Structure 1
Amino acid sequence: MKAVGIVVEYNPFHNGHLYHLQETRKQTGADCIIAVMSGNFLQRGEPALVSKWARTKMALSAGVDLVIELPYAFSVQSAEMFASGAVALLDALRCTELCFGSEHGEIEPFIAAVHAVQKHEQQYNAHIQKAIKTGVSYPQAITDTWKQLQIDGVDLTQPNNILGFSYVKAIVEQQSSIVPRTIRRIAAGYHDETVSHPSIASATSLRKMLNGSAEQLNDISRYIPSYTKHALKQYYSTYGTFHHWEHYFPLLKYRIMISEESELQRIANIDEGLEHRFKATIIQAETFAQFMQALKTRRYTWTRLQRACAHILTNFTKEQMKAMKKPSYIRLLGMSGNGQRYLQSVKKHLPLPVATTMSRLQSHPIYAQEKKATAAYAAIFPEALRIKMMKEEYATPPIYLSFCK
């Protein structure tokens, strides 16, 4: 069976994601599609709209065959670390190809750019560090460096292009046999907050339209499959909310207020004196949005600061981040009948253990951080729902949908 990998967040799953999934199967001839999916916190440092279990159901309903978790230690990271973890898991599962969405839409420039960067690695790194010292953001520093070194390629100010470049770079650096492919994004950009297409909208705009409530589900119905609507409705019925940062702001504010600056300095992504800025700014902030607006500068992007906030909330330290260099297990969140058959055919030959129950991983450092992330994610609920979500974290078996193709 030919296995092809995709890297997803599905926050939530929408028609654009369905297009990518269908095109992946069509263009690669995949027998099995494996999705590496972020858990309860996402690459940009946001809490997921609904839990990883609800999003796994969406993925399986759409036709994904295997859903595996990208652990917090890799999912709430820069594009480079995010891609490195995802590629390592897909390589371990013997995927022959990785198909990602991008604004550029052609794979050759990504490959050429990665080889050009490797050829000029010392100059490349030196230019980036020099650019950052002028006060620009990391993505802008990369773009400026490409111009300085005259590297032809893709526009790295576009978020999916950044991830695509990072996937290809990870494949090359890990000496993986995975072949990269890309599909051009259609209709809606990653950050688009408005809708201009009759059936395609970005996840960002859909979350904005929902505005934290299930009352607006009918308003987004034409942009999402029916199973996404059902999963969102079911989740809201059970938990009474969709997740967003404002829910967590009182917890974040408490953590920052009671922490010494020396304690904050130990947290991942708190660098260059950011701990002082966090402590000084939090006192007057009444909302998360207000706090972020006060923190943000040309140098410190919203995404970087948001990831730092997630790490404060989950107490993820620089020391832990350095120790967790690559995934050491494969956590299976869900599978179709087809996915189950594929897994059975390769399971004995995989370099990493497949975890279907988490009892054997309770003391594993990567999974220990996953439990902290789930505890933080569930902290906004009343006690009964908090207990329910924490139990789901370690006791829920992989979701099985036999009818998925």
Structure 2
Amino acid sequence: MNAVGVIVEYNPFHNGHAFHLHVAKEQANADIVIAAMSGNFLQRGEPALVSKWKRTEMALKAGADIVFELPYIFATQQADSFASGAVSILEAAGCNSLCFGSESGNIDSFYQTIGFLKNNNELFQQKVKYHIAQGNSYPRATALAFHDLTPNEDMLDLSKPNNILGYQYILSVQKQQASINVFTVSRKNADYHDAYFSSETIASATSIRKALFSENGDIFSVRQYMPETSYNSLLEYKEEYGHFHDWEQYFPLLKFRLVQTTPAQLKNIYEVEEGLENRLISTALESYTFKQFMEKLKTKRYTWTRLQRACVHILTNTTKNEMDRKVEKASYLRLLGMTTKGRVYLNKHKSQLSLPLISKLSLQQNEQIMLDIRASRIYALGTRKNQQRLLEMEFKQPPLILN
């Protein structure tokens, strides 16, 4: 069976994602779609709107056939580590190809840019260091350095988030010598960071979340931008747990962690660098909401995303030693769900999988899994209703099966 892989967060699953799955399967001439999906905390340093189980359900009902969890150690990292972990999962699962959405939509521009930067790497790195020294964040410094090299018009725009991720996906495939063919499709109508609706049927996940958390947050207002099955899943989740997840529910827990931790202890937390520990503690003491906290904390040097990721690691008490950036590959395949076709694929290819397939957790498993367990437990603490049920699902919930 021919499998195409996708790397996703589905926060939440919308019509643009459904389009991506359809095109990926069609262009790859694939029998099934395998998704490597972030768990309960995401790459931008945010809790997922709904749990990984509900997002798995959304994906399976809308076109995915197998969903594996991208471990916390990769899911909450910057683009290169995020990509590396996800590619290793798709390779281990036997994917023949990888399809990603991008602002470019032209795979040739990715390979041209990779070749250009490899040929000009020394000068590029010098310019990155220069722009960081000027007080720019790392993503901003890399975009400026790339612009300084005056690449031609066939090159990528590396200031766009999905272009950046796609660039890292291809680098990871090359570095891991994965036997995966890579192709891209253009994002449809809505940009990744669009905060407002600009189409009748296609909207970014960002704009959907903004609508749900607005003062008049009405779930019905997002219905036209999602498959009916995904919309119904949102309704079910809010009914069961009382609300959707965002940082405001976790801010009291984060604030508690900060005010009872010494600067020396905080320095051991991953992504807390260069005196940020003192600023984090003092800002927490004078903030009443997460939004207020972030607005006070934000500087030119640190992106909002970078600071949010640091906050996730503080919340989960994740140390620098636990998040070793030398780790480039996942050590297991955590199965979250599958369709009947996905089950046939796994039964047929089980002996060929290059990583252990895990469908049920135990506390005796490895360090990467222990991070996943800890993150899921803390995620559950943000619920108003049925908290115990969400806490227990990490061990008791078998992979979802959609017939």
TM-score (norm 2): 0.96
Please give the per-residue CA displacement for 1:131-181, whole angstroms capped at 9, x wherever unaligned: 212111212111122233344421111111111111111111111121111
- Partner residue, 2:397: 396
Pair 1:238 & 2:271 matched = no
1:231 match: secondary structure: helix
The residue matched to 1:37 in structure 2 has which SS? strand
2:382: which partner in 1? 380
Contact 1:213–1:242 (CA under 8 A) maintained in structure 2: no
Contact 2:245 2:383 in 1 (8 A): no
CA RMSD after TM alignment: 1.6
Q: Which of 183, 186, 210 does residue 184 from structure 1 map onto?
A: 186
Structure 2: how far apart are the matches of 1:367 and 1:120?
Answer: 39
Letter in 2 for 1:247: Q
Match of 2:145 in 1: 145
Distance 1:387 1:213, change over 3 A: farther
SS of residue paired to 1:290: helix
Of 315, 336, 345 in structure 2, the residue corresponding to residue 333 of structure 1 is: 336
Report the Cα offset of residue 119 of structure 1: 3.1
With over 3 angstroms needed to count, the CA separation of the structure-2 counterparts of 1:134 and 1:160, relative to structure 1, is same
- Alignment partner of 1:120 is 2:120: yes
CA distance in 2, matches of 1:154, 1:234: 41
SS state of the match for residue 256, structure 1? helix
1:74 has 2:77 as partner: no
Q: CA deviation at 1:33?
A: 0.6
State how far apart, in whole Å, the 2-side matches of 1:362 and 1:371 are: 12
Structure 1 counterpart of 2:311, one-letter code? C
Q: What is the distance in 2 between the residues matched to 1:151 and 1:124?
A: 12
Per-residue Cα deviation, 1:163-204 (whole angstroms, up to 9, x for no partner): 111111111111112111110011111111111111111111
- Paired with 2:216 and 2:71, the residues of 1 have a C-alpha distance of 28
Q: Which residue does 1:266 correspond to in 2?
A: 268
Shift of 1:214: 11
The amino acid that maps onto 1:358 is L
**Larger deviation: 60-69 or 105-114?**
105-114
Residues 324 and 366 in structure 1, CA contact (< 8 A), matched pair in contact too:
no
Instruction: Tell whether the 8 Å contact from 2:84 to 2:328 is kept in structure 1 after alignment.
Output: no
User: Aligned letter for 1:257?
Assistant: V
CA-CA distance at 1:367 after TM superposition: 0.8
> Which residue in 2 is equivalent to 1:284?
286
Cα deviation digits, residues 321-380 of structure 1 (max 9, x gap): 116442100000000111111111211011100001112x63410011111101110112
Q: CA deviation at 1:77?
A: 0.7
Paired with 2:168 and 2:275, the residues of 1 have a C-alpha distance of 28
Q: Deviations over 1:77-127 (max 9, x none)?
A: 101110000001001111111100001110011112223323333433333
Distance 2:327 2:374 in 1: 15
Q: What is the aligned partner in structure 1 of residue 135 from structure 2?
A: 135
1:63 maps to what in 2?
63
Q: Match for 1:43: what amino acid?
A: Q
One-letter amino acid matched to 1:319: N
- % same residue: 46
Q: Indicate which of 345, 348, 372 corresponds to 2:348.
A: 345
Retained in 1: the 8 A contact 2:242–2:383? Answer: no
Q: Say whether 1:9 aligns with 2:9.
A: yes
Counterpart amino acid of 2:31? D
Question: Which residue of structure 1 lines up, in the alignment, with residue 367 of structure 2?
Answer: 365
Match of 2:309 in 1: 307
Quote the Cα distance in structure 1 between the aligned partners of 2:286 and 2:353: 52
**Partner secondary structure for residue 347 of structure 1:** helix
**Separation in 2, partners of 1:119, 1:266:** 37
**Partner SS, residue 311 of structure 2:** helix
Distance 1:242 1:210 in 2: 8
- Matching residue of 2:207: 205
Corresponding residue of 2:175: 173
| Greater mean deviation of Cα atoms: 60-69 or 343-352 | 343-352
Determine the C-alpha separation between the residues in 1 that align with 2:125 and 2:270: 21
Q: Measure, in 2, the Cα distance between the counterparts of 1:30 and 1:314.
A: 38
In terms of mean alpha carbon deviation, does 143-152 or 294-303 score higher?
143-152
Change (3 A) 1:15 1:213: farther
Deviates more, 1:232-241 or 1:319-328: 319-328
Letter of the 1:142 partner, please give it: T
Distance 1:23 1:371, change over 3 A: same
Structure 1 runs (4+) deviating above 4 angstroms are: 212-215
Equivalent residues, number? 400
The one-letter code matched in structure 2 to 1:305 is: L
SS of 1:352 mapped into structure 2: coil
CA distance in 2, matches of 1:212, 1:319: 38
Name structure 1 gaps, 5 residues minimum: none
1:320 counterpart SS class: coil
- 1:25 equivalent in structure 2: 25
Q: How does 1:40-59 map to 2 (within 5 A)?
A: 40-59=40-59
CA contact (8 A) 1:16 1:201 kept: yes
The answer for the alignment partner of 1:107 in structure 2 is 107
Q: 1:51 to 1:362 in 2, by over 3 A?
A: farther
Q: Which stretch of the first structure deviates more once superposed, 212-221 or 114-123?
A: 212-221
SS in 2 for 1:321: coil
